[in-house]
Chains A and B, each alone.
Chain A
Amino acid sequence: MGSLMPVLIPLETGGEGFKPPGLEDFEFNGGFIPGVDWVNKPLIQALLSVILILVFWLIASRRLKTVPGKGQFVSEFLYTFIRNGVARDTIGHGWQPYFPYLLGLFCFIWVNNLFGLFPLFMFPTFSNIGYAWGLALLSWIIYNAAGVKKHGLAYFKNSVLPAGVPLWLAPVIIPVEALSNFIIRPITLALRLFGNLLGGHLVVLVFVVGGTYLLTQAEGILLNAAGGFTLLFTFAIFALELLVVSLQAYIFTVLTASYVASATADEH
Chain B
Amino acid sequence: MTPMEINGSINLVGYGLAVIGSGIGVGLIFASVIQGTARQPEARGAMMGTAWIGFAVVEALAILGLAFALFLG
Q: Which residues of A contact B (CB under 8 A)?
A: 1, 8, 12, 23, 85, 89-90, 188, 191-192, 194-196, 198-199, 247, 250-251, 254-255, 258
Report yes or no: A195 in contact with B4, Cβ–Cβ below 8 A.
Answer: no
- Most chain A CB atoms below 10 A, which of B5, B57, B66: B66
Contact B53 A195 (CB under 8 A): no
Which A residues touch B4, using CB under 8 A?
Answer: 8, 12
- Closest Cβ neighbor of B5 among chain A residues: A12
Q: In the complex the two chains form, is A192's CB within 8 Å of B49's CB?
A: no
Determine if B60 is an interface residue (Cβ-Cβ < 8 Å): yes
A195 adjacent to B5 (CB under 8 Å): no
Number of interface residues of B (CB under 8 A): 17
Q: In chain B, what residue has the closest Cβ to A9?
A: B4
Using Cβ atoms and an 8 Å threshold, which residues of chain A touch B13? Answer: none
A-B pair number, CB within 8 angstroms: 44
Contact with A along B45-57 (1 / 0, CB 8 A): 0000100110111
Contact of A188 with B49 in the complex, beta carbons under 8 Å: no
Given contact pairs A8-B4, A12-B4, A188-B60, A195 touches B52 in the complex (Cβ within 8 A): no
Say yes or no for B64: interface residue by CB 8 A criterion: yes
Which residue from chain B places its CB closest to the CB of A250 in the assembled complex?
B52
Cβ-neighbour of A258 out of B53, B59, B62, B70 (below 8 A): B53
Residues of chain B within 8 A (CB-CB) of A191 are 60, 63-64, 67
Q: Could you say which of A90, A192, A198, A199 contacts B60, with CB atoms under 8 Å apart?
A: A192
The 4 A-B pairs with the shortest beta carbon distances in the complex, nearest first, are A195-B63, A188-B60, A251-B56, A195-B66
Give Cα A258 to B49, complex, Å: 11
The reply to whether B63 and A255 contact each other, CB–CB distance below 8 Å, is no
How far, in angstroms, from A196 to B67 measured CA to CA in the complex?
A: 10
Expressed in whole angstroms, the Cα–Cα distance for A191 and B72 within the complex equals 14
Cβ 8 A contact of A251, one of B52, B67, B70: B52
Residues on A with beta carbons closer than 8 Å to the beta carbon of B67: 191, 194-195
B63-A188 in contact (CB<8A): yes
16-44 of chain B: CB within 8 A of chain A: none
- Given A89-B49, A251-B52, are A192 and B59 also a contact pair (CB < 8 Å)? yes
Say whether B53 contacts A254, CB under 8 Å: yes
Which chain B residues border A1 with CB–CB below 8 Å?
Answer: 1
Q: How far is the CB of B1 from chain A (nearest CB, A)?
A: 8
Q: Are A23 and B64 in contact (CB under 8 A)?
A: no
Contacts of B66 in A (CB 8 A): 195, 198-199
The chain A residue sitting closest to B67, CB to CB, is A191
CB nearest to B63 among chain A residues:
A195
